[in-house]
Amino acid sequence: MNKLIKNIMFAGVGGQGLILMTRIISQAAMKDDFDIKSNDVVGLSQRGGMVWGNVRIGKKIFSPNIRPGEGDILVAMEPLEALRWSAKLRDDGLIIMNSKRFYPTIVQQEKEEYPEVAIEDLKANMNVIEINAFEEAKNLGKKQVANVMLLGILAKHLEIKVETWKETIKDNVPEKAIDLNMQAFDLGYVYQG
């Protein structure tokens, strides 16, 4: 296998802006001369269902899909989704997890419990960086920048230049939101967990 390949996975709930994240990473990696392939699930699952995506970065990428057990980093915008997709990670993989919970219908209707215990186990047994990006973003002024904060954390673990990240984010957000997004990225970049 090509050792340079980094497999980054995303998981979240429909409507959280996952596709924008895969787009930004893909573009940033490409700007720094990596080959990329990415993958998003869209459609029906936009409506509050589970969504996932991934980006593969390396010298030469064939398939956009990540094989089970070969994910390097999982960026999870929701804890239950972090749990669900954690099995696709390598044993020593990293999980960057937003702690804001979105309760599925079956939990809301009190048929099943939200798996708090299993999530605690996950945090104890795997390499997890947890952040309440949603609250932090609200404090900055706009809950929508939570994703960019998570990208800031991710950026620290990839060989893409900080300037490239920032340039790419600027290309993808509305002009008036650039400052806020830069602040969110910086906050993520220095976040210690």
Partner 1 sequence: MDGKAGEKRALTGNEAIARGFYEAGGVVASSYPGSPTVEILEKTKVYEEIYGEFSTNEKVALEVGIGGSFSGARAMVSMKHVGVNIAADPLMTFTLTPTNGGFLLVTGDDPGLASSQNEQDNRVLGKFAHLGILDPSDSQEAKDYTKKALEISEHFEIPMLLRITSRLCHSRSVVVLEDRQEVKSKGINRSKEKFCMIPPGSRRAQMFMKERLQKLEEYAYDTELNTLEEKQGSDTLLITSGLVYYNLKEVEPEASIWKLGLVYPISKKRAKEITSQYKRIIVIEEMMPFIENELKLMGIECEGKKYFEYTGELDVPDIEEGLYQAGLLKNKPEGSKRFVETVSRPPLFCTGCPHRPTFDILKKSKAKVVVGDIGCYSLAALFPFEQSNSIISMGASIGMTKGIRKAMSLTKEEEPLVTVIGDGTFFHSGLPTFVNLLHQKKDNENMTFIVLDNRTTAMTGGQHNGSSGLYNERDDMRVGIKTLLETMGFDRIKEINQYDYKAAEKLFKEEIAYEGLSIIVVNGPCALRYNLEKPYFYVDPKICISCRACIRTNCPPLRMIEYEGIEKLKSSIDKDMCVGCSVCAQVCPVNAIKSSKASEKEGE
Which chain residues interact with partner 1 by CB under 8 A?
13-15, 22-23, 26-27, 30, 35-50, 55, 61-65, 67-69, 80-81, 83-88, 102-110, 112-115, 118, 134, 138, 143
Which residue lies nearer to partner 1 by CB, 115 or 186? 115
Residue 76 Cβ vs partner 1, minimum distance, rounded to whole Å: 12
Residue 179 Cβ vs partner 1, minimum distance, rounded to whole Å: 22
Residue 53 Cβ vs partner 1, minimum distance, rounded to whole Å: 8
DSSP 3: T
Residue 192 Cβ vs partner 1, minimum distance, rounded to whole Å: 25
Task: Show the DSSP H helices in the chain as ranges.
Answer: 18-31, 79-85, 105-108, 116-125, 133-140, 146-155, 162-172, 178-189
Give me 122's structure tokens. 């996950």
CA distance 176 to 80: 33
Sign of CA dihedral 166, 167, 173, 179: positive
Which residues, listed in sequence order, are joined to residue 94 by a DSSP beta bridge?
73, 127
Judge whether 39 and 23 are in contact, CB under 8 Å.
Answer: no
